[in-house]
Amino acid sequence: MSRYAADFQGFSDDLGASFQRYGFAVVADHGLDEDVIRRAIDDAKAFFALPEDVKRAYHQPGTGGARGLTPFGVEAAKGAASVDLKEFWHTGRELPEGHPYRRYMRDNLWPTEIPGFRDDVYAMFEALDALGRRILKAIARYLQLDDAFFEDKVQLGNSVLRMLHYPPVPADAPGVRAGAHEDINVITLLLGAEEAGLQLKDADGEWLDIAPPPGALVVNIGDMLQRLTNHVLPSTTHRVVNPAPERRGFARYSTPFFLHFNPDYVIQTLPGTVTAQNPDRYAGKAIMAEDFLTERLREIRLL
Ligand SMILES: O=C(O)CCC(=O)C(=O)O
Ligand SMILES: [Fe+2]
């Protein structure tokens, strides 16, 4: 991100090229406040260490896991036979009383057992939201759109910060930490992927390890941006495989921030991404971001 200020065009070219090739990019010097990150992750660890019945009080079945806890053994990758070996907490955007988007965004839940949780985790939400918007500016430049193209389409997006806990994996565990899937949203900003396991599926079908340097941010394209760009920027399949025997006893904590469009934004192919070789894959199929999300949450068994 230091290059962002010094050479925005160069930064945008390289970031965009990595997205176009892999659907992923690693940003080393993201500039997020390390204390904000540490406090939020410490709170998440403290929450996940609470007794199961205490945690369960923050699960709201039938709500798509939009807020609060989704317990171990609920989410499964689209079409997968086994559930993922993870539990997670979702925090969404806070909106003022009476805001029209409140019909799309539930109230956040806050665990009273962890005193700093609300302030700490929401600070991380806001930091990632701001960084995501800066990254979208570079993506807009790469796509030869106005730099501010995404700004009024995501500034009140239905975005979600996911604090994930993958417990140690017993030798006989069925399934994997996170089955092969694509993200639903616009872009994902992922911290905490240093514990090995994250892999992306390359264009030739081969699984590649993503091994970011300590503290680095992994960014990937989600289905909504893939659709908007007529697949010029691909939403790449990824998964989290189980650890090698010597790391089985270690938990993994990672924190993807799923940046979404404003709920009523209509996703319609960008004209500049349509060519003779890449005709419009979604002609006549404009869809509102909120409807697209609902469709996909059904497929991953969260609704
Ligand atoms: O835990 C990770 O590193 C990745 C998680 C992920 O891909 C997701 O939750 O969508
Ligand atoms: Fe993902």
Instruction: Locate the ligand 1 atom nearest the alpha carbon of residue 183 and give its number.
Output: 10
Q: What angle do CA 80, 83, 87 make, to 5 degrees?
A: 140
Q: Which residues contact 141 (CB under 8 A, 6 or more apart)?
A: 8, 9, 12, 16, 147
Strands 238-240 and 178-181: antiparallel
DSSP summary character for residue 93:
-
φ/ψ (deg, to 5) at 111: -75, 115
Chain centre to alpha carbon of residue 57: 25
Q: How many separate domains does the chain show?
A: 1
pLDDT cut 90: percent of the chain above it: 87
Cα(240)–Cα(198) distance, rounded to whole angstroms? 4
Return d(Cα 140, Cα 151) in angstroms, integer: 10
Structural domain boundaries enclosing 220: 3-299
What CATH number does the domain containing 283 carry? 2.60.120.330
Residue 286: both structure tokens together: 């404009």
- In sequence order, which ranges of 49-144 are alpha helices (DSSP H)? 52-56, 117-142
- For ligand 1, the distance from its centroid to the CA atom of residue 180, given in whole angstroms, is 10
Please, what is the average pLDDT of the chain?
Answer: 95
Asked whether residue 210 carries a pLDDT value surpassing 90, the answer given is yes
pLDDT at 79 over 90: no
pLDDT at 109 over 90: yes
pTM (2 d.p.): 0.97
Please give the DSSP secondary-structure letter assigned to residue 108: P
User: Which residue type is seen at 185?
Assistant: N
pLDDT band at residue 57 under the 50/70/90 scheme: very high
Type of residue numbered 53: D
Residue 38 has pLDDT above 90, yes or no: yes
**pLDDT single digits (tens) 138-149:** 999 999 999 999
Rg of the chain over CA atoms, in angstroms? Answer: 19
Cα(238) to ligand 2 centroid in Å equals 6
CA 259 to chain centre: 6
- Determine contact, residues 256/204, Cβ cutoff 8 Å: no
Ligand 1 interacting residues, C-beta cut-off 6 A: 162, 164, 178, 183, 190, 193, 198, 238, 240, 254, 256
Closest ligand 1 atom to the C-alpha of 188? 10
**What is the tens place of the pLDDT at every residue in 216-256?**
999 999 999 999 999 999 999 999 999 888 999 999 999 99
Separation between Cα atoms, residue 303 and residue 297, nearest integer Å? 6
Cβ atoms of residues 221 and 27 within 8 Å: no
pLDDT in tens, 83-96: 889 999 999 999 99
Q: How far apart are CA 209 and CA 216, in angstroms?
A: 15
Confidence tier at 297 by pLDDT (50, 70, 90): confident
Instruction: Please indicate whether residue 59 or residue 64 has the higher confidence score (pLDDT).
Output: 59
AA identity, residue 229: T
Cα angle at 255 between 295 and 165, to 5 degrees? 90
Nearest CA to ligand 1 atom 8: 256
Q: Which atom of ligand 1 is nearest to the CA of 164?
A: 1
Q: Which helix (H) or strand (E) holds 165?
A: strand 160-166
